[in-house]
Chains A and B, each alone.
Chain A
Amino acid sequence: MENTGEKEVICYHKLHREYPRRLLHYVDMPPRLFVRGVLPREDRATVAIVGARMCSYYGQVQAFEYAKALSQAGVQIISGMARGIDGHAHRGALAGGTPTFAVLGCGVDICYPRSNYDLYKKIPEQGGLLSELPLGYEPLPRNFPLRNRIISGLADLVLVIEAKEKSGSLITADFALEQGKTVYALPGRVSDELSYGCNRLIEQGAGIACSVESLLEELGISPGKSDKLLIKSQIRLESQKNMVYSCLDLQPQNLNQLLEKIPLSPEEVMGILLELQLEELIVEPMKNYYAKIK
């Protein structure tokens, strides 16, 4: 172990006894690993959640919910702290309580992207930020696909949430298959470009991520008490409210689209949407776009 000057950052050499044993099986693993925080525990099940940076609201919600449920079951979540799915997976994992780990494509003293500064601060409190690159190393595009091999190497199972046809997440899935890891993909609508990569993986034989239980089973963990993803609406609402609520979906819809479906005046619909929002049943992820919370 060499101390690199900064107090919190530790550099583990490949020969060090704490260097992740999971990585030792593969040939192209980094000789040194810089860590801010701690390394993932060897005895715990680990799942990597990856996906598109430009993701849909549906993808955001699913990344968060899967990560949260898995984390609550004691699974360590690994991802790349990028924008989009990665970031939401980390947020879900932090909400779940089990330490989460991010493998960065730059030095661990650099926060990239800046918009995930909250994660950059929170992840090392219990989990850790990992990188094979020395401190001060700029985030260069060519390093991001490379760090994916560490993400898949550290995980027991790789879950792809959303990916377009040519996506970095598919590189992770390829690494995972080479390394002999299980790959799961979240199915999506065939008409959505963001589902293309996942549906393609399923076609090629990847597992279908229909529920957290199936993932936990795969990992050999008995599914305990966890949030269900499929929830039957048990919320009782006034009839007009109910009508508006039932027209909503996890995919955000524009106000105009809703007005086409609902035989009420724009003023009334807007009023109801606001009430539902204040009751925390729906969200407005973008201006005048509305979606169910879950």
Chain B
Amino acid sequence: MFSSVLSAAIMGVECFPVRVEADVSDGLPMFNMVGYLTSQVREAQDRVKTAMRNMGIALPPKRVTINLSPGDLRKDGPAFDLPIAAAILTALGYLEEVMVKDVLIVGELSLDGSVHPVSGILAMVDKAKEMGCRACVLPKENWREGQIIQGIPVAGVSTLRETIEMLRSGDFERFQLENPVGEVFYREPEYSLDFDEIQGQEAVKRAAVVAAAGFHNFLMIGPPGAGKTMVARRLPTIMPQPSLEECIEISRIYSIAGLLPADSPLMAARPFRAPHHTLSPQALAGGGRIPRPGEITLAHRGILFLDELTEFSRVSLEILRQPLEDRQISIARAMGSFCFPANCMVVAAMNPCGCGYFPDMNRCTCRPGDISKYLRKISGPLLDRMDICVEAGAVEYQDIAVKRKKGPSSAELRKEITRVHKTQEERFRGTEIRFNSQIPGSELETYCPVEKQGRELLEKAYKKMNFSIRGYHRILKTARTIADLEGEEILLKSHISEAICYRKADKKYWKI
């Protein structure tokens, strides 16, 4: 008897349907698996056979052949255990062909017949809906995650026996939640940190608000202990909540990477990734024989924080160049080329020199050549991509000793930034652009009208300060965000002058 069950495989961030076919025929008793499988998938045969026996279904002494089609796609992972079991049960007659028709099944089996969770559920359920499937059957632990995709019944099972009962009854909608996404999962995140805890550093705080409002890349330079990391860690708390579509997009990536938190299957906040500087290039870009998302993809629609920027290996840092422009990263492997989304905001912190105290000559112990050598670790093109750059100077004693009015709290700032994000959403409706930082050079004229005095200032500064064209564009984009924060439609002189103050730290600024 022949049977076929629908399942799915993940390649990069894409999901592909896989047909699991089983054939039970006369011949010498054996169990064969074909279809370009990794050994992880090949091991399924022992799990399936044992789980079935422990459930009380003995495999008859016949020739069993399993095929996973399409045959040119490398299949990986333990998610095929359950569909293989279902296919064999159908071929043996325990289930009827109509019961499994158009039902997508995924899950890992354990020897006692219980079903364990797998990664990538969100993408799989989405694919099932797109293909017009009747329902999805998945491990109980993944069930909440599967609910996020609306418009397709999702059933969670915890044992192989439950799976059989579920498929026999065909009542997949029994446990469906009412509007689960809106009410249960999509809720405002809570933070234990707050922006008003930062003392002093007014200029850095202001720059952080501008960066968050326009999704600008942000570089902080300063001595150790000045509060750079503190500011960066509090950036997520002033970031507005992403839209539901964005949340699903983010969750999809985390689902594939197997990083979705067990209690909340929807990533309701923008991700904040802070990899350590020992990070390898593959871990940043995404790697493996079948590439898995790297840090830059995990930070998609969120923040990638690189603390101690100069300590990262140069190879790792240079990887950032292309994705920062294209907002996606394509990785070529023998298996094919994979494209991962990488639309993140890079926040970086670094010291001005090796000892960390330059230009405080009383404390800096670096030799003259050391400082320029230290800064050479960061390439010009990478610095060029930092829209906003500020110096976080050492905080003096009176700043921390004197009791003063606290600055605005995270909630207040988030409200303000939410307004700016809304303005941008309206401005760029119907285009690819989402934030001011993404305005292409050709459209700057349309989106960034400058008043007369501002234009004069720009011209004067352009001549005197030797900007590059890219630098000039960056100033306009940052000024656009500042104007949005002030609620102005046209860029005024004050917006331009503030933006110029944030221009990149040129190497000449450290010249002795």
A and B associate in one complex: yes
Residues of A participating in the B interface, judged by any CB pair closer than 8 Å: 53-57, 60, 83-84, 113, 115, 191-194, 252, 254-257, 259-260, 266-268, 270-271, 273-275, 278, 284-289
Query: What are some 13 contacts across the A-B interface (CB < 8 A)?
Result: A55-B512, A56-B361, A57-B359, A115-B511, A193-B361, A255-B390, A256-B392, A259-B203, A260-B398, A266-B202, A267-B482, A271-B501, A278-B460
Confirm or deny: B328 has a beta carbon within 8 angstroms of a beta carbon on chain A: no
CA distance A270 to B497 in the complex (A): 7
Q: Is the CB of B221 within 8 A of A287?
A: yes
Confirm or deny: B175 has a beta carbon within 8 angstroms of a beta carbon on chain A: no
Q: Is the CB of B390 within 8 A of A288?
A: yes
Q: In residues 382-423 of chain B, which contact A (Cβ within 8 Å)?
A: 389-396, 398-399
Q: Is the CB of B512 within 8 A of A83?
A: yes
Q: Is the CB of B203 within 8 A of A266?
A: yes
Confirm or deny: B336 has a beta carbon within 8 angstroms of a beta carbon on chain A: no
Per-residue contact bits, chain B 470-512, to A (CB 8 Å; 1 contact, 0 not): 0000000000001000000000011001101100011001111
Q: Residues of B contacting A289 with CB < 8 Å?
A: 359, 391
CA distance A86 to B278 in the complex (A): 40
CA distance A274 to B454 in the complex (A): 12
CA distance A53 to B371 in the complex (A): 12
With A256-B204, A260-B398, A260-B399 in contact, is A268–B362 under 8 Å at CB? no
Residues of B participating in the A interface, judged by any CB pair closer than 8 Å: 200-204, 206, 221, 352, 359, 361-362, 364, 366-369, 372, 389-396, 398-399, 457, 460-461, 464, 482, 493-494, 497-498, 500-501, 505-506, 509-512
Q: Is the CB of B393 within 8 A of A275?
A: no
Select from chain B the residue with minimum beta-carbon distance to A270: B501
CA distance A260 to B396 in the complex (A): 10
Q: Residues of B contacting A273 with CB < 8 Å?
A: 501
With A54-B361, A256-B393, A271-B493 in contact, is A84–B368 under 8 Å at CB? yes
Max chain A Cβ within 10 angstroms of own Cβ: one of B361, B398, B399, B510:
B361
Max chain B Cβ within 10 angstroms of own Cβ: one of A53, A113, A274:
A274
Name the one of B201, B364, B391, B494 contacting A267, with C-beta atoms under 8 angstroms: B494
Q: Residues of B contacting A55 with CB < 8 Å?
A: 361, 512
Name the one of A257, A267, A278, A287 contacting B396, with C-beta atoms under 8 angstroms: A257
Select from chain A the residue with minimum beta-carbon distance to B393: A254
Nearest-CB distance from B152 to chain A (Å)? 51
Q: Residues of A contacting B362 with CB < 8 Å?
A: 191-194
How many contacts between A and B, using CB within 8 angstroms? 107
CA distance A55 to B371 in the complex (A): 13
Select from chain B the residue with minimum beta-carbon distance to A82: B368
With A254-B393, A256-B201, A260-B399 in contact, is A54–B512 under 8 Å at CB? yes
Q: Is the CB of B461 within 8 A of A255?
A: no
Max chain A Cβ within 10 angstroms of own Cβ: one of B202, B352, B364, B372:
B202
CA distance A286 to B389 in the complex (A): 12
Select from chain A the residue with minimum beta-carbon distance to B402: A260
Q: Is the CB of B498 within 8 A of A288?
A: no
Q: Residues of B contacting A57 with CB < 8 Å?
A: 359
Q: Residues of B contacting A287 with CB < 8 Å?
A: 221, 389-391, 505-506, 509-510
Q: Is the CB of A260 within 8 A of B391?
A: no
Q: Is the CB of A260 within 8 A of B200?
A: yes
CA distance A261 to B396 in the complex (A): 12
Q: Residues of B contacting A259 with CB < 8 Å?
A: 202-203
CA distance A275 to B493 in the complex (A): 10
Q: Is the CB of B461 within 8 A of A278?
A: yes
CA distance A57 to B392 in the complex (A): 19
Q: Is the CB of A271 within 8 A of B359?
A: no
Name the one of B366, B393, B399, B482 contacting A255, with C-beta atoms under 8 angstroms: B393
CA distance A67 to B427 in the complex (A): 57
Select from chain A the residue with minimum beta-carbon distance to B358: A286
CA distance A180 to B131 in the complex (A): 96
CA distance A260 to B390 in the complex (A): 16
Q: Is the CB of A278 within 8 A of B203?
A: no
Q: Residues of B contacting A256 with CB < 8 Å?
A: 200-204, 392-393, 395
